[in-house]
Amino acid sequence: MRNVPKSLGLLVTTPGGSAAGGAATDGGISTSGRHNSLEDINLDQFLKTINYEDTVKQLDIYYGIVKRQLLRYQSPITGLFPVMSTDQVVGSVRDSVYCASAVWSLYQAYRRIDDDRGKSYELGQSTVKCMRGILECWVKQAARVELFKQRQSNQHALHSKFQLHTGEKIYPDEFYNHLQIDCVSLYLLFLVQMITSGLQIIYTHDEVAFVQNLVYYVERAYRTPDFGMWERGSKYNNGTPEIHASSIGMAKSALEAINGCNLFGEKGASWSVVYVDIDAHNRNRSIFETMLPRESSSKGVDASLLLTLSFPAFASHEDRLVEQTKQNVVNRLRSKMGFKRFTRDGFLSKAEDKTRRYYQAGELKEFEGLECEWPLFFITMIIDGVFKNNNEQIEEFQNDLRRCLHTDANGDPVVTMYYAPDGEGSYMRAPSQSLFLWGQSFFIIAQLLTAGLLHINELDPIRRYLPSYNRPRRAGRYSAFQGTATDLVVQIVLIAESMRLQAMMATYGIQTQTPHEVEPVQIWSSTELIKVYQHLGVNHKVGLSGRPSRPVGSLGTSKVYRICGMTVLCYPLIFEVSDFYLYRDMALLIDDIKTELQFVGKYWRLSGRPTVCLLIREEHMRDPQFKEMLDLLAMLKKGYCDGMKVRIGRLQNLISSSCIEHLDFMNQSDLTDNENAFSQINHEYIGYQSLTDVPKALTYVEEKISVAHFDSKPTPDIINALRSTESIYCLCQLWGILLNREGSHFEVNGLNVSTALTQLYHRAGSLRYWRAVRYCSSLLHHIVDSISPFITTVLVNGKELTVGIIGQKETVFDKPMTPAEIQNVMYTSVQPYDVIQAVLQQEVVLYCGRLIATNPSMFRGILKIRIGWVLEAMRIYLQISGQQSIDVDNLSPFQVRILLQKVLTVSEWAVEEKLTTLQRRQLEGCLCRVPKHFYNKIWEILQRTPQGILTQGHHLPATPTLTSMSRGELTFNLLVEETLICIDRPERRQITVELLCIVATILNRNPELHFKQALDLDGIIAEAFAMYCKDNNIQQQPKLSEQQGQPNKQEDLTAFYSLPYSETTGYLARAAVNKVLQGGVFSTAEDDVQLDGDHLHDDNCKVS
């Protein structure tokens, strides 16, 4: 057997302590060589401490291992690697990248050697061959990338498995889950690492364009449910993709790494640079960190997060969050022979039926305790320990790994792929005749690191392991992620639309600039910037268009751009005049400006300061609330905005400290006349000197009149009514009837319906008559700008959304959706029942998305945000507060937002505003808010109630619920919430929640008790109400129904619902105990389940 390096005995060999012939003591850990590894130390000095001959000798041994264990199985044609060494058919992209990373890490180690006899070159080119092989396989699928940019679905996903030797597709989409965002992200990440190390991987302009399009492919990871690192999607393995934190984290890392990277290396041109949308990166970052420590809605913990948070991705540097997540994985998944991938993972286990692709409902329970254990993650923790300079962790996991090693015929060490528990305390080992190449690759990397042959800066040349503010600063023309200053200043430029407006603002001490005054800098709308970016990544040869027309967000509009010799600053989306009516509400705009500045200040991660352009239009000046805008600007002038440092200045003075992005991919010939700068309005005279001179837009008031009776009248009658009515709201409704009946092109007096509604929409908008504005907006099928990211934000906070009218079928948003899909839902499931709600519910969705991002505590206890019920809570609040005359439909958007915040925070002000118990139950019941640990309590009740729970005719079964789901799982919680929402009255819903908590407490205090019959909640509430009536001498009308054991529908329990919490708790507890005593509903755990009622005695039913 040939000599093996000392570290193959799994010892950390110090650079200075491994002289030829010297041996480390068995089991000892030497630490002197590791203490500087986290610092960017002088590598030459680091190397001098290593004995040269010993280094060459050890590297040559690893070279032999890499040749025998990895390169031997690399396809000579495509450069791909299989998952298992015995596989001659299927090449796997993910495994190929990891194999290439191991070969490349040895290449990096060999670069220390002056005369390596060609080994370094061979290793480098083997790496290049693999990375280019993957690229060529994907370039053949460029058409899929193009489709995926428009709609992220499995049908358009790049394949992650190919024919090993031809690179052709091997599995059709219907037979394999190819959509794995982490796989493409991993490729991009190592591509940058390898190019930075000096390898030339990208050769042509066509390939540069393709890689730019791969960036577009992963940018929307935050809203793309995929099948994840384990290729199976949700834990249930039923073909359902879900949003995975590991995929989003990998994408975030890849975007950070590739931003501003020149794919041609040091010899690159301006057109070989890759650009990243900073706002897409920020969404991935915030959603990734929101999801942690969870992996997905079905997987609370997953070992894939180790690879995301440590080597190779280092996706977060929020130390507390990273440590919490890693500890969660280690504590819950670590076993004797490796880590489980996740709980109830049936893959390759003894209980799995290998003939079926998908599992059956309820099958997961069979895998509990039989999950395979993977030594790969011991190695991951060793590598993590090296990066953290944590010798105890290295030694701990090296000791664990020793148990999982064996040698092959060549005497080389082999890491077993997995160990499958047999359920009796023993393990079945994976077949030893085949190598698991991913595991071997990681093993080789770990050995090179712990032997001191490879420095962490050589394995991670772009320093992903360091926080962005500690990485070497990259000089150049392109923005880079550099972290953020602790006292970041947000620069503000105030642009007035006209000199007249500028003069009026100066009267109030607000200095602004007009578009003419900032020349040669141009002020653009962000939509013009979108047109420029559409030229990025275009390649007609490969069939690729440029950047999809996605909006440029707040961070993107805070850069100054250099485009074909022009300097451009864009104003944010909040100043866009869009189809949707929100931009007309000045109070909302003022609030949005504050939010915008806070957001930019909090999430800015680029070099240079952010520069925000605030646009003041003449129409703002006419708004009744413009005085509040002046107050805001006066506050900004003082240098602060809600604790955030700001600086208002002249644009020419601020540019030198701004973040400047050079868009070098643009040619002068590509610029069209459409890229028009924001134009100044010129007046004959300057005119207004103060606000008192400005004619104000009047607030319009009219009586709400319904014209529903015209639905049945002939069209000529409607046309006559149109000509005779003055009421704007009546006009909206009449045009709406014509729209539904005759279509949008039907003309009246030469005016078609669509044009008439648009004119009416703008007229109502200028009058701030919100009811009519919303009605027209709905008829015109408008949709809120950029609503998709807000829905995604709600989803990744562990909530779901539903839209719809109470009493009608609701539509659930349980996965990210495109704007077109959202528009279709709003106008097919909401508008037919209530025209205004089709847009009002969009507003509330938008506000919920914004609020949950900044104040997640407002939504505590609410699992599914049902927008129809939220609006009902708003109406109830208006009634409670004596504002019955106010209609939610006619409130301004800002008032709707404030009202939403009010009903979401009921617990904070209920006592102060003297809400009655009934009113509070009504509001909380509308939101279906439940106490902490409520769903865990229901799980415990079901464990003791084999027949399940009954309420309002809805049955929550114990079986298969308990077998197919697990405690704390989002799917189980949603099932319980679905049961509660079947209760039609919100106050009864809340009483039911209180009752369930009481029953859980009784069971908790009496562990020997079990329900034998279904738990009938309505019966217990009826019993409690009967007790209340008896105690208060109230005659029950009508009597309790003998058959159902519950009140008839007409019975009014309002008096009971109005009782203080302490009183209802007493009645409900007594009623629950009475049910036990009267019906013998409880049995002790020792009782045989088959006993009939005759064998049950009250002695078994004592309740403490």
pLDDT in tens, 150-184: 888 888 999 999 999 999 999 888 888 899 999 99
Nearest-angstrom CA–CA distance, 273 and 271: 6
The pLDDT score that the predictor gives to residue 853 is 80
465 neighbors 474 (Cβ within 8 angstroms): no
Percent of the chain with pLDDT over 90: 45
Q: Of 1083 and 265, which is predicted with more confidence?
A: 265
- Token output for 623: 């708004």
pLDDT in tens, 817-865: 888 889 999 999 999 999 999 999 999 999 998 888 878 889 999 999 9
In single-letter form, the type of residue at position 231 comes to: E
Q: What is the DSSP string of 794-839?
A: HHHTT-EEEES-TTS--EEE-S---HHHHHHHIIIIITTT-TTHHH
The pLDDT score that the predictor gives to residue 967 is 80
297 by Cβ neighbours in 10 Å (0-12 / 13-18 / 19+) ranks as buried
What distances in angstroms separate CA 388 from CA 16, 357, 453, 454, one per listed residue?
20, 40, 17, 15
Nearest-angstrom CA–CA distance, 118 and 63: 12
Nearest to 878 by CA among 889, 887, 890, 867: 887
In single-letter form, the type of residue at position 1008 comes to: E
State mean pLDDT over 1069-1088: 62
Most confident of 66-75, 614-623, 1015-1024: 66-75
State mean pLDDT over 593-611: 89
Structural domains of the chain, ranges and CATH numbers in brackets:
6-469 (1.50.10.10), 490-693 (no CATH), 708-766 (no CATH), 934-1104 (no CATH)
In single-letter form, the type of residue at position 172 comes to: P
The pLDDT score that the predictor gives to residue 32 is 34
State mean pLDDT over 106-110: 93
State mean pLDDT over 998-1008: 87
Q: What is the DSSP string of 35-94?
A: TTTTS---HHHHHHTS-HHHHHHHHHHHHHHHHHHTGGGS-TTT----SBTT-SSEEEHH
790 neighbors 582 (Cβ within 8 angstroms): no
Backbone phi and psi for residue 102, each to the nearest 5 degrees, phi listed first: -70, -45
The pLDDT score that the predictor gives to residue 195 is 95
Of the pLDDT bands very low, low, confident and very high (cuts 50, 70, 90), residue 924 is: very high
Range with the poorest average pLDDT among 493-507, 597-611, 766-780, 1035-1049? 1035-1049
Of the pLDDT bands very low, low, confident and very high (cuts 50, 70, 90), residue 28 is: very low
What distances in angstroms separate CA 243 from CA 211, 834, 860, one per listed residue?
24, 33, 21
The pLDDT score that the predictor gives to residue 90 is 94
249 neighbors 316 (Cβ within 8 angstroms): yes
> Residues 710, 715, 717, 723: is their CA dihedral positive or negative?
positive
Q: What is the average pLDDT score of the chain?
A: 84
pLDDT in tens, 1-16: 344 334 544 433 333 3
Nearest to 608 by CA among 479, 487, 518: 479
Nearest-angstrom CA–CA distance, 825 and 827: 6
Relative to beta strand 954-956, strand 864-866 is unpaired
Residue 705 has pLDDT above 60, yes or no: yes
Residue 48 has pLDDT above 70, yes or no: no
SS (H, E, C) 273-288: ECCCCHHHHHHHHHHH
Nearest-angstrom CA–CA distance, 774 and 764: 9
Residue 850, number of CB atoms within 10 A of its CB: 18
Count, residues in the chain: 1104
pLDDT in tens, 638-669: 988 888 899 999 999 999 989 898 888 877 66
- Token output for 247: 């995929």
Nearest to 198 by CA among 107, 324, 132, 136: 107
The pLDDT score that the predictor gives to residue 45 is 45
Residue whose pair of structure tokens reads 């050995």 in the numeric block: 447
The pLDDT score that the predictor gives to residue 699 is 62
The pLDDT score that the predictor gives to residue 72 is 94
Nearest-angstrom CA–CA distance, 615 and 573: 11
Residue 871 has pLDDT above 80, yes or no: yes
- Token output for 158: 């790049």
The pLDDT score that the predictor gives to residue 29 is 31
Three-state DSSP class for 468? Answer: helix
C-alpha radius of gyration, the chain, whole number:
33
Nearest to 1017 by CA among 996, 1003, 1000: 996
Residue 952 has pLDDT above 90, yes or no: no
Nearest-angstrom CA–CA distance, 167 and 679: 53
Residue 315 has pLDDT above 90, yes or no: yes
